[in-house]
Chain A
Amino acid sequence: MKKALLKDTFKEIANTKKRFISIILMAFLGVGFFAGIKATSPDMQKTLDNYYDQNNVYDIEIISTLGLTDEDIESLEKIDEVEKAYGIYSVDVAIEANGEEVISKVYSIDENINKTILISGDMPQNYNECLVEEKFLTNNNLEIGDYIELDTKSDEEFFKDNKVKIVGTVESPLYISRTRGSTKLGSGTIDYYMYISKENITSEAYTEIYITVKNAKELNSCEDEYEDYISEVKNKIEQIKEEREQARYNSIVSEAQSKIDEAKEELNAQKEDAQQQIYEAEVELQNAKNQIDVGKSNLSNQKTATYKQLEESKSQLELQKQNLEQSKQEFQQKEKEAIDQIANLNEQLNILKEDEELNAEQIKQLESSIAYIQSELDSAKAMITQGENEITNGEQQLELATQTANSEFANAQAKINSAESEYNEGVATLENKKQELNEKIQEAEEKIAEAENDVKLIETAKWYILERFSNSGFSSFVQDTQSVANLGKVFPIVFFVIAILISLTSMTRMVEEQRGEIGTLKTLGYTGLQIANKYIIYAVLACVIGGFIGVGVGFVLIPKVIWRMYSLMYKIPNFVIEFNFYYAFIGICAITACILGATIASIKKEIKQTPAVLMRPKPPTLGKRVLLENIRFIWERLNFIQKITVRNMFRYKKRFLLTVIGILGSTSLILTGFGLRDSITSLIPEQYGNIFKYDMMITIKSELTEEELAKFRSDIEDKSEVEKTVEVCIQSMEIYKDISNYESAELVVAENIEDFYSVIELKDKKTKEKIELNNNEIIITDKLSELINVKSGEEVILRNSDGEEVKATIGAITKNNINHYIYMTKDLYNNLYGNYETNVIYTKNIELTEEQENNLAKQIMDTGCVAGITTTSNAKSIVDDMISALNYVVIVLITSSGLLAFAVLYNLANVNISERIRELATIKVLGFYDKEVYDYLNRETIILTIVGIILGLVGGYFLSYFIMGTCEVQTIRFDKVITIPSYIYATLITIAFTFIVNISTYFNLKKIKMIESLKSVE
């Protein structure tokens, strides 16, 4: 290229700054928006992938119904692609915190896999220390250093020490979203996760094995390539799966069996032992009995002997008595005889005494005979007395002996009696013991039988081999990146098309304006290519500059803004912004190619002409009557200026079209932005006002009996704040038609249908007509039906947290905006699973302030029957957070669309002025005031703007529906609403931008130099 021409090119740029900048701006907007949105999804994916790689997050997770062992790890590690396998323990626990029961999943710490990020505090040093989530502390008013008690609600021991100390807070890469999964405990939803030392876990088998796959880190885990590779490895694991499952089953069964055998043996030993003991006791008892018998007979023998003796002594005594009596009688006779003798003697004596001297000898003899008889009498008397005494003595002795014997016998009898009763007792005790033993044995035998039965019931171990996609956080994040990618399919294209159209007009106009110059250069002998180069350089330069600024700004700003919105829903640190060469290249090339193409096309047209033709100005578009003029009825009603406006509009058809398209595009984008916002903001009132009509959801402790529950319910109902209570049973379920495409949903079982309708409204999405539950079919929510791809009438499979699967038919699809639900009646539940048990009570309250509501909740909590309370206002605020994030997107949309509208109008206004400068100068010369000149031109712009806005509102209506469909997140269904104010705002914003552009037009018109504009030849 000749130097002069190059110089001319740069001079041209300097002279037409406005045009150059406007093309830069269009390229900037088009490329920036395109590249920015396109890059967001990969950036987000890259961020997640980096996060996972850095924290060594598993590629494959294995869960087994019977737990996993080191042997499993060994055999898994034998697979070539497996880098390493890690065994982890986990369990769901209930924790009492602040009187409320929360559910947490506890993992054993392994610093090599799924590495957690320590946010505050320290890693556990002791076995009884744990790490929790930050929100666990804030939500439950706990601090680092506090102790909590973990309750597995199971008989099996899992922890060495249930009481653990919180030593720090962590973030786990396993939980990037808000969902923590489901559990069999409490309300069925896990609220938190936590980590604990392995040393505190007593469980013998691992709960899960996490596997890292060789070379998987090099791949992007959101992409198919990764998925394919992992599936391959999964297949290999699948091959060893059965063997390992069987091995685990066998070991468990044999262990259980040996335990049973042991128990049986022990039981037998015990049985024998017991029998021996019984036998011994029986023998002892028999001995005792014999002894008693011997005692008894001895006693009676003795008794007889003694009594005989006594009888003998008595009869002897009697004999003695008789003898004595005889002796007495003898004595008395003898006494009489003696006395008679004495008297005889005395008479003899007396006779003798008369001859005393003579008879002295005789007297003496007589006297001595009397004395002798007297003494003999006395001695006989004494002997009788003695005999009497002896008998009395004997009698006394006998009495005594009898008494002694009697008392002795009584004692002996008593002894015998007590021995007998002791014996009887012994017999009874033995009988009892025997019975007891029998019962025990029976019990033990039953237990063994039960255990044997249990062993029979042990199902073969089942391995679940899961990929990252089974992690709900991961999968919903990837889905969200996909909806961002979907967003990138529409928006940038609208931008791009408009940008290209606008730049195209600018370039075409430029070439047209410079016909004269082109002609001159041609006459001077420059070739077509040389001449064209100027415009090519001009266009390429503008596109490349604009494009580079666009990718520079777009790659940073747009992903960042979108990321900010998603970071409210996902906890992933360190957003990665990458310069995406692919999209930068595509964006810049596309815009350059399009604008360059247009430039070359228009230049080709000019260059073909002969210099002479070119030197003459391009004949202006011929004046023409418009169709409207034929409708005289309308035409004649228009005033002069209106007629001119109408005619001008039809004269510049291309610009007319472009203006309309440009404004249409931006208005519809702005409306889409507002429409999104409307749909988002209508979500909460719709879900928590029109669909869920309850104010509180009270989760009841599972151990409550029916009576306690009934009392609790009536207690609540008695509270003045509560209008109504409704019982339901809520469980976490998995639902699917096709196993590869399952969704988690909450099952809500209506205890009483009429009550149920008063807190949850079931209605058709379209007709809004009420839907009724029946005892044969379930009702599922709209988005859920879409995700698992079922219609009413089809059969689905429900799997509860125990893994029980049942079939159910869908009766109807109900309108719902947030989360997924399955509804059924109590009867149907009893048919499917049996054993309906209320675990949640909904309340409808009177209007309450926040404080009143908190008070009420506290009162209910204090009853001790409650595991947790969720108030609607609470739930609202959680969703609110999530949703406010989406507002960023709306702001981005509105701002960029506004900018686009501005650029379009500004550009077209400039083209309009430059194209019609003569005409404008003429009317200025004629003495049109500035305002009139402005009106002359702007009346057209205004009409076109109005047409554009109207079409844009229509287009926006459809576009917003399309966009809402693509950017819906998984658990949310947007109602496609656009409120009247949104139409008004969209209109006003477009008008505002039109107005700003018009102000600049006004000054541009004022600046038109009449003389110069009219000087050139025509």
Chain B
Amino acid sequence: MPYIEFKNVIKQYRMGEVTITALNKTNFKIDKGELVVIVGPSGAGKTTALNLLGGMDSLTSGQIIVDGKEISKLKNKDIIKYRREDIGFVFQFYNLVQNLTALENVELATQICKDSLNPKEVLEKVGLKERMNNFPSQLSGGEQQRVAIARAIAKNPKLLLCDEPTGALDYKTGKQILKLLQNTSKKENMTVVIITHNQALTPMADKIIHFKNGTAYNIIENQNPVSIDDIEW
């Protein structure tokens, strides 16, 4: 039984008179501990799928099952609980709280979780031991994203969802971030889903899901994922 399963997931937005179908009968499965990369052109439905998986949006029809729970059927409060306990989110634009230091940003997440990790240790792990007490505005983009990842990881989630984590970063920093994600997946045996439009990143994943026109049309399992260090683009 897969850890995550999308069954015929349809997501439609109603924009006034027009109905936009963002996801159209999407099916895929992800196993526990897998590093999954979702690729596809913009508007293909990647983010919609990720939002649905992260409990940030509700679907129109179909089923999403995570760890045996049908999250698509959860009530609002349970959805929040699901987000709170099972999901770690990393955004393209970090979304750090500006008014909090790096450490506090992490603490913001950990103080609401039961089995959270020690924020300081997590920050140390992402290499920000020295910058812990700095405000986001005092950190570089890569550092900010690392804080965001630390914030996500520190919750000790079942699932780490990253939406274009390197989109706003330069090549080198991006690589560092991806490395961090890959390591997290491997070392903590965490299920990590990364959205990217960069096809070159696919070799690093255990599973690659291609999106096009609102469906996952090509799911490739990669038996030999490559370390990100060996990938050039």
Contacts and interface: CB of A to CB of B under 8 A. Distances in A.
A640 B97 CA distance: 14
B99 A648 contact: yes
Pick from A619, A624, A643, A927 the residue with the most CB of B within 10 Å: A927
B112 A928 contact: yes
Contact of A927 (B81, B95, B100, B137): B81
Interface in B103-155: 104, 107-109, 111-113, 135-137, 151, 155
A453 interface: no
A649 B208 CA distance: 46
A929 interface: yes
Interface stretch (A108-116, A167-175, A863-871, A918-926): A918-926
Contacts of A921: 95
A623 B137 contact: yes
Contacts of B47: 1011
Nearest to A919: B97
A1018 interface: yes
A643 B47 CA distance: 34
Given A647-B99, A925-B83, A1018-B93, A640 B57 contact: no
A624 B76 CA distance: 35
A927 B97 contact: no
Interface in B46-63: 47, 51, 54, 56-57
A623 B80 contact: no
B22 to A, nearest CB: 11
Contacts of A619: 137
Contacts of B136: 623
A621 B77 contact: no
Interface in A435-458: none
B98 A621 contact: yes
Contact of A1010 (B56, B84, B113): B56
Nearest to B76: A930
B100 A1014 contact: no
Contacts of A643: 104
A924 B155 CA distance: 14
A927 B83 contact: yes
B80 A1018 contact: no
Nearest to A647: B99
Given A927-B81, A932-B112, A644 B91 contact: no
A651 interface: yes
A915 to B, nearest CB: 12
Contacts, number: 89
Contacts of A4: none
Contact of B101 (A621, A623, A926, A1014): A623
Contact of B111 (A640, A919, A929, A1018): A640
A776 to B, nearest CB: 75
B85 interface: yes
A623 B98 contact: yes
A922 B95 contact: yes
A925 B93 contact: no
A1011 B56 contact: yes
B87 interface: yes
A919 B155 CA distance: 18
B95 to A, nearest CB: 5
A648 B97 CA distance: 11
B84 A927 contact: yes
A622 interface: yes
Contacts of B94: 1018
B80 A647 contact: no
Contact of A624 (B84, B107, B135): B135
A627 interface: no
Contact of B95 (A644, A928, A929, A1018): A1018
A647 B97 CA distance: 12
Interface residues of B, number: 37
Contact of A1017 (B84, B93, B108): B93
Contacts of B6: none
A620 interface: yes
Contacts of B84: 926-929
B211 interface: no
A737 B12 CA distance: 88
Pick from A641, A644, A932 the residue with the most CB of B within 10 Å: A644
A1010 to B, nearest CB: 5
A925 B89 contact: yes
A863 to B, nearest CB: 83
Nearest to B50: A1011
Interface in A891-930: 918-919, 921-930
A125 B19 CA distance: 89
Interface string B29-73: 000000000000000000100010010110000000000000000
B99 A927 contact: no
A927 B80 contact: yes
A838 B87 CA distance: 95
Contacts of B155: 926-927
B135 A923 contact: no
Interface in A913-956: 918-919, 921-930, 932
B80 A928 contact: yes
A648 B104 CA distance: 13
A400 B192 CA distance: 188
A1018 B96 CA distance: 11
A927 B112 CA distance: 8
Nearest to A929: B80
B99 A922 contact: no
B53 to A, nearest CB: 13
A647 to B, nearest CB: 5
Contacts of A620: 98
A531 to B, nearest CB: 27
Interface of A: 619-624, 640-641, 643-644, 647-648, 651, 918-919, 921-930, 932, 1010-1011, 1014, 1017-1018
Q: Which 6 A-B pairs have the closest CB atoms?
A: A927-B84, A623-B135, A927-B83, A623-B99, A1018-B93, A922-B95
Given A623-B136, A644-B108, 9 more contacts: A622-B135, A647-B99, A648-B99, A923-B97, A925-B56, A927-B82, A927-B155, A930-B76, A1011-B56
29 contacts: A619-B137, A621-B98, A621-B99, A622-B137, A623-B136, A640-B104, A640-B108, A640-B111, A641-B111, A647-B100, A651-B99, A919-B97, A919-B98, A919-B99, A922-B96, A926-B84, A926-B108, A926-B109, A926-B155, A927-B81, A927-B83, A927-B84, A927-B155, A929-B77, A929-B80, A930-B76, A930-B77, A1011-B56, A1017-B93
Interface of B: 47, 51, 54, 56-57, 76-77, 80-85, 87, 89, 91, 93-101, 104, 107-109, 111-113, 135-137, 151, 155
